[in-house]
């Protein structure tokens, strides 16, 4: 298992350009506005207008008390093959923090968010 953490404070990234599985994720939001954590089944960095495979609301927060979501192994359970951990991404694994739910809108402030993803 590998761990990705956005130490460079970005709003989007490609963490794997080949087939992989997401096992868990921890995302925080220090913005006063709700945001959306999105996962993409693609090998490239998400671009504006891309449609995510998953989109999760991140509650609004503040620097001293950020909104947080935890997506653990229970959410990413592989129902087709319980021996495999995680949700499959056949093209690659990309993520983004968006200001809209259904497509990626790249207007969030990078320093407001942290993203940690466990993947294989």
What confidence tens digit (pLDDT) does each residue in 63-120 have?
999 999 999 878 887 666 666 678 889 999 999 999 999 999 999 998 999 999 999 8
Identify whether the C-beta of residue 61 lies closer than 8 Å to the C-beta of residue 33.
no
Query: Among 83, 7, 11, 4, which Cα is nearest to 48's?
Result: 11
Residue tagged 């969030």 (tokens): 108
Query: Among 94, 102, 80, which Cα is nearest to 22's?
Result: 94
User: Looking at domain 2-119, which CATH architecture does it have?
Assistant: Sandwich (2.60)
For strands 35-40 and 12-16, give the pairing.
unpaired
pLDDT at 55: 96
- Residue 83: which region, alpha, beta or left (left: phi > 0; alpha: psi -120 to 50)? alpha
- Entry pTM: 0.91
37-66 pLDDT, tens digit per residue, is 999 999 999 999 999 999 999 999 999 999
User: Which residues touch 8 (CB under 8 Å, ≥6 apart)?
Assistant: none
């Amino acid at each position: 298992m590998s761990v990705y953490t956005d130490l460079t404070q970005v709003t989007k990234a490609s963490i794997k350009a080949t087939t992989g599985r997401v096992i868990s994720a921890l995302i925080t939001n220090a913005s006063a506005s709700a945001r959306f954590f999105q996962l993409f089944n693609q090998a490239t960095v998400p671009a504006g207008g891309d449609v995510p495979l998953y989109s999760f609301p991140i509650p609004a927060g503040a620097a001293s008390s950020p909104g947080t979501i935890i997506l653990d192994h229970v959410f990413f359970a592989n129902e087709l093959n319980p021996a495999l951990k995680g949700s499959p991404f056949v093209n690659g694994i990309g993520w983004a923090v968006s200001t809209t739910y259904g497509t990626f809108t790249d207007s969030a402030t990078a320093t407001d968010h942290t993203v940690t993803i466990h993947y294989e």
